[in-house]
Chain A
Amino acid sequence: MSRSTELVEKTLEIVGDRAEAQVVAKTGTSELTRFANSFIHQNVSDDVADLTIKVAVAGRVASAATTNPTSAGIESLVSSAIAEASLQRVDDDFPGFGGPVDPVEHDRFDEPTATVDPAARADIVKDFVDAGEGLSAAGMCETNSWYVAYGNTNGRFTDGRHTTAVLDGIHQTGSSAGTGHSAGIGIGSIDGRAAGALAAERARAGRNAFDAKPDVYEVVLAPECMATIAEFIRDDGFSGRSARDGTSFVTIGERRFDPGVSLIDDAFDSRALGLSFDAEGTTRERLALIDGGVTPTLLHDRRTAAHFSVAPNGRAPFAGEGYTGGPTARNMFFKEGAATEEDLIAGVERGIYVSTFNYCRVLDKKSLVVTGLTRNGTFMIENGVISGALTNLRFTQSFIDALAPGNVTGVGSNSRFANGEEDPAVVHTPSFHLAAWNFTGGTDG
């Protein structure tokens, strides 16, 4: 029995019959090694013990959280949550807590990662740095190991554990930068030398960059860019909360995307990281968010599911997951195509290759118009080959229109976990070739 499981059982025991309640406990260790100017400058470790409770007292609801899971701390947590709930009006939309669930086989845990020595992260950093001789490296290598348990007064109980390892870095020449990434369940899957070599190659290729005239261009978007697009259409499109609030662009069954685009959220994919259940203890069932260009369903927690009179599908976020606080997807996989990234580039007569987006912000939720910049590797493509490096560009572009029917002219076969704007390693994606992308500014504005 993990410490998280013990904490959940102990907390529910203290609640007794004073209230309906659900409890989530998360324990484990998060460690991160940062490097800059080609040496490690910060190395941090955090032993985590988070306990969260939500109570309902005759339909009155409140929640509380603490990092102090001692007996006194739990008693205080329970008492304050019940006291706060008792002061409130009845929540007519409260969907209640779920009933018992069947256990499922799911373990995304790597023991060596859970017990990793900081020297192992330092070795990966060294590989990354050494891959760019003469360049200046910066980035981070992170390992996490989590034990999470959920329980409620209706008899629902589930627990799990998972590990993650992420490397994210850049090499810089002084006038250019290139990026490299690697992520997986275990630290053994992190290839610092390969990520460093890609970052160094992009950085060197980025020298002598010139300004491109802002205009509409064909683009080949590397996996990091596609991860950001997936996160934004998830939060403002597929989330049941966005749909409930009327701000989502999604109409179930309508073809808003190109038939070549399919996006699955699947915690049970063998490559998936994370847990098999959400913050309400509901199993994260496999969902197609885009199936051949059509969205067949939305992401729901218990509250949005009740609003739409459907069953919850296990997308209630744990603390810190997602950007909006609403239902979210944590294991998104774009269906890949047959083309290599070189093939995609070869199909472009005159366009732009983008390694990474930076600082994307939504201008309008319904149309999902987003402004952002390119970063760490932007290149001109002419007659099917990279012809030179570009300075960073600003774009103002609807992410829905970007994947609209007819605009997706190629999907790569180079799928991997990519770090989007919001999270590392929640999107597994190849590169995409898009017919049109609206660049609205360059380094001179």
Chain B
Amino acid sequence: MFDRAEIAVQAAMDAGAAYSDGRAVLDRVEKIEVQNQRLRSLNEQEKVGVGVRALIGSSWGFAATSDLSDASLRACGAKAAAVAKASAVVSGPPLDFPEIPATTATWETPHVENPFDVSSSEKVDMLLDITTTMLAVDGVDSAYGTVSGGDSAKWFVSSTGSAIEQHLIEAGGYYKATAVGEHETQVRSYPQSWGQFETGGYEVIRAWNYQDHAQRVAEEAVALLGAPQMEERETDLILESSQLALQIHESVGHAIELDRILGWEAAFAGTSHLELESLGTHRYGSSLMNITADATIPGALGTFGYDDEGSPAQRVDIVKDGIWVGVLSGRDSAAVAGLTPGGMVRGDGYNRIPMVRMTNVGLLPGAGTLEDIIADTDDGVYMATNRSWSIDDKRLNFQFGCEIGYEVKNGRLGRILKNPTYTGITPQFWGSLDRLAGEPEWVHWGIPNCGKGQPMQVAHTGHSASPGRFRNVRVGVQA
């Protein structure tokens, strides 16, 4: 498939591009959904095509096609250059695009069982068993489960001589029980509410022992209907690690995207509260806060060999001892900011222009255990598993809701509390981090649905986290 991408890139260069790169991509996704002991959908999707970028002046042109004939690919490359040229009507300063060494390489996700080699009926049977278990719990109104597998082959070429072949494999899923009251719904899910996805084969799903938690999840959903409402107040907040992973994603991961900081995403995704002048001096959080963007973590969802502009996967410090020290960048954004490119540019399939995306933006672990943190808390709340998330366009003002809360009194977990929410302002919140559990409870959570860009692109990102405690947080916000 290298030759398919090369035709398009050459056509873009022939049409006047200063630089061009292209990707031939074959994406396969299988998704199975089961609800209430019925197969809701079994869907296989294959997307194959070529996308080509052309840089002219201040603008990228990008064109994509699923027609892999020579004529179509030549037209595609020429179109990428033509749309870039059309941007001259409203042009800016020429975009600097630093050279990187030409790379010839191959890379494959380590895996045991390709998800497509496991029978769909085995997956359906597992989900049917789980929904049967959950529906058998009195008070459960709906039981849903899903698993997915992805297999992506990419052939990248550039006008400067790179040729990189990658084979990325991932798997994941989740299930949930819903209990409906007269004026409310309550939900519990496992492993987390949007699914736990990792790079690797079907062994990823097997490792989470789905069947072992269905009964508990269903019982908790029903128990929530009769639980007291979380009271609105300021108190100490202990977060379970998947919720802390989403907190990292929303209030750190997006804020450190260099394209947002430079204003390139201002109209849609938004900008950032961070200003480049304060890189290296801005206090993001307490000294316990150490964040890295690491695309090399084995098994994490944002792990790959090379990004979609040919840069190798890297580990970059983002926050060190609470101080902001790094960004997520690509070759163009890094050049504009005078920084080193971070290798963090990816496109959603063949037909989307690559852009800055999170890799594995995670919080390094601390010491001790969740049990220790609870034992060390006189008065507070514990929240687990995300239910809602909202944050402003600068990534400052956030409000999260979780599926379940518990009161914490005198070092012990107390009653279940329903509709737990918390709200805060990013630097103050991270500044209040005072306990973080250690490596045994450090989990590489994956988020399969990070939206950004126009047309919308969905990225798969990783966020390592262990449970942590934040002091004096406003909780229990209600309508």
Contact A396 B64 (CB under 8 A): no
* A318 contacts partner chain B, Cβ-Cβ < 8 Å: no
Q: Which residue of chain A lies nearest to B332 when distances are taken between CB atoms in the complex?
A: A41
Contact B47 A67 (CB under 8 A): yes
Interface string of A41-67 (1 = CB under 8 A from B): 111111111000000000001111111
* A369 contacts partner chain B, Cβ-Cβ < 8 Å: yes
Per a CB cutoff under 8 Å, which of B43, B128, B352 touches A65? B43
B351 contacts across to A, CB distance below 8 A: 46, 48
Bound complex: CA A71 to CA B355 (Å): 34
**Majority secondary structure, A binding face:** strand
A392 contacts across to B, CB distance below 8 A: 392, 397
Interface string of A363-374 (1 = CB under 8 A from B): 111110101110
Given A40-B87, A47-B64, A89-B39, the answer on whether A366 and B423 have CB atoms closer than 8 Å is: no
A84 contacts across to B, CB distance below 8 A: 42, 44, 120
* B477 contacts partner chain A, Cβ-Cβ < 8 Å: yes
Contact B76 A47 (CB under 8 A): yes
Interface string of B66-77 (1 = CB under 8 A from A): 110000100010
A288 to chain B, nearest CB (A): 25
Bound complex: CA A362 to CA B48 (Å): 35
Q: Which residue of chain A lies nearest to B61 when distances are taken between CB atoms in the complex?
A: A43
Contact A43 B397 (CB under 8 A): no
A235 to chain B, nearest CB (A): 14
* A246 contacts partner chain B, Cβ-Cβ < 8 Å: yes
B455 contacts across to A, CB distance below 8 A: 30, 32, 44, 46, 142
Contact A397 B479 (CB under 8 A): yes
Contact A39 B392 (CB under 8 A): no
* B360 contacts partner chain A, Cβ-Cβ < 8 Å: no
| CB within 8 Å of B: which A85-130 residues | 85, 87-89, 91-93, 117-119, 121-123, 125-126, 129
Query: How large, as a class, is the contact surface on chain B?
Result: 35 or more
* A398 contacts partner chain B, Cβ-Cβ < 8 Å: yes
B424 contacts across to A, CB distance below 8 A: 445
Bound complex: CA A170 to CA B263 (Å): 12
Q: Which residue of chain A lies nearest to B63 when distances are taken between CB atoms in the complex?
A: A45
One of A182-190, A219-227, A353-361 contacting the partner: A353-361
Bound complex: CA A129 to CA B89 (Å): 11
| CB within 8 Å of A: which B251-304 residues | 262-268, 270
Contact A80 B44 (CB under 8 A): yes
Contact A36 B264 (CB under 8 A): yes
| CB within 8 Å of B: which A104-163 residues | 117-119, 121-123, 125-126, 129, 136, 138-140, 142
Bound complex: CA A118 to CA B54 (Å): 15
Given A33-B87, A39-B92, the answer on whether A63 and B41 have CB atoms closer than 8 Å is: yes
B425 contacts across to A, CB distance below 8 A: 443-445
Bound complex: CA A155 to CA B388 (Å): 44
Q: Which residue of chain B lies nearest to A319 when distances are taken between CB atoms in the complex?
A: B45
A361 contacts across to B, CB distance below 8 A: 388-390, 401
* A34 contacts partner chain B, Cβ-Cβ < 8 Å: yes
One of B177-185, B437-445, B460-468 contacting the partner: B177-185
Q: Which residue of chain A lies nearest to B428 when distances are taken between CB atoms in the complex?
A: A445
Contact A363 B387 (CB under 8 A): yes
Bound complex: CA A443 to CA B48 (Å): 45
Per a CB cutoff under 8 Å, which of A38, A66, A76 touches B45? A66
Most buried by A among B80, B86, B478: B86
Per a CB cutoff under 8 Å, which of A47, A64, A139, A170 touches B44? A64
| CB within 8 Å of B: which A366-387 residues | 366-367, 369, 371-373, 375
Contact B399 A119 (CB under 8 A): no
Contact A42 B62 (CB under 8 A): yes
A30 contacts across to B, CB distance below 8 A: 455
Per a CB cutoff under 8 Å, which of B44, B65, B66, B89 touches A81? B44
* B119 contacts partner chain A, Cβ-Cβ < 8 Å: yes
Contact A40 B45 (CB under 8 A): no
Contact A34 B43 (CB under 8 A): no
Contact A125 B39 (CB under 8 A): no
Per a CB cutoff under 8 Å, which of B41, B60, B478 touches A43? B60
B285 to chain A, nearest CB (A): 15
Contact A169 B396 (CB under 8 A): no
Bound complex: CA A118 to CA B46 (Å): 29
* A35 contacts partner chain B, Cβ-Cβ < 8 Å: yes
Contact A122 B124 (CB under 8 A): no
Q: Which residue of chain B lies nearest to A60 when distances are taken between CB atoms in the complex?
A: B39
Bound complex: CA A272 to CA B428 (Å): 47
A425 to chain B, nearest CB (A): 14
Contact A170 B266 (CB under 8 A): yes
Contact B180 A247 (CB under 8 A): yes
Bound complex: CA A438 to CA B479 (Å): 7
A321 contacts across to B, CB distance below 8 A: none
Interface string of B435-479 (1 = CB under 8 A from A): 000000000000000000011000000000000000000100111
Bound complex: CA A49 to CA B80 (Å): 18
A47 contacts across to B, CB distance below 8 A: 63-67, 72, 76
Per a CB cutoff under 8 Å, which of A77, A138, A396 touches B478? A396
Contact A63 B43 (CB under 8 A): yes
Bound complex: CA A125 to CA B428 (Å): 39
Contact A371 B388 (CB under 8 A): yes
Per a CB cutoff under 8 Å, which of B41, B119, B267, B397 touches A139? B267
* B121 contacts partner chain A, Cβ-Cβ < 8 Å: yes
Bound complex: CA A426 to CA B387 (Å): 27
Contact A41 B92 (CB under 8 A): yes
Bound complex: CA A122 to CA B58 (Å): 14
B391 contacts across to A, CB distance below 8 A: 359
Per a CB cutoff under 8 Å, which of A69, A126, A373 touches B89? A126
B142 to chain A, nearest CB (A): 5
Per a CB cutoff under 8 Å, which of A34, A126, A360, A441 touches B397? A441
B303 to chain A, nearest CB (A): 26
A67 to chain B, nearest CB (A): 4
Q: Which residue of chain B lies nearest to A247 when distances are taken between CB atoms in the complex?
A: B185
Given A46-B64, A123-B89, the answer on whether A363 and B59 have CB atoms closer than 8 Å is: no
A40 contacts across to B, CB distance below 8 A: 58-59, 87, 89-92
B63 contacts across to A, CB distance below 8 A: 44-47
Contact B263 A372 (CB under 8 A): no
- B residues neighboring A (CB under 8 Å): 38-39, 41-49, 58-67, 72, 76, 79-80, 82-84, 86-92, 95, 119-121, 124, 128, 141-142, 178, 180-181, 183-185, 262-268, 270, 351-353, 387-393, 396-397, 399, 401, 419, 421, 423-425, 428, 454-455, 474, 477-479
12 contacts between A and B (CB under 8 A): A36-B264, A39-B58, A46-B65, A47-B66, A64-B43, A67-B66, A68-B48, A88-B120, A118-B82, A125-B90, A396-B479, A441-B423
- A residues neighboring B (CB under 8 Å): 30-49, 61-69, 73, 76-77, 80-81, 84-85, 87-89, 91-93, 117-119, 121-123, 125-126, 129, 136, 138-140, 142, 168-170, 172, 177, 245-247, 358-367, 369, 371-373, 375, 392, 394, 396-398, 401, 438, 440-445
Not counting A87-B120, A139-B267, a sample of 20 additional A-B residue pairs whose C-beta atoms are within 8 angstroms of each other reads A35-B90, A37-B263, A39-B92, A40-B58, A40-B87, A41-B58, A46-B64, A69-B66, A85-B42, A91-B38, A118-B86, A122-B88, A126-B90, A169-B267, A170-B266, A359-B392, A364-B419, A366-B183, A367-B184, A367-B479
Across the A-B interface, the 5 shortest Cβ-Cβ residue pairs:
A39-B92, A118-B86, A40-B87, A122-B89, A138-B267
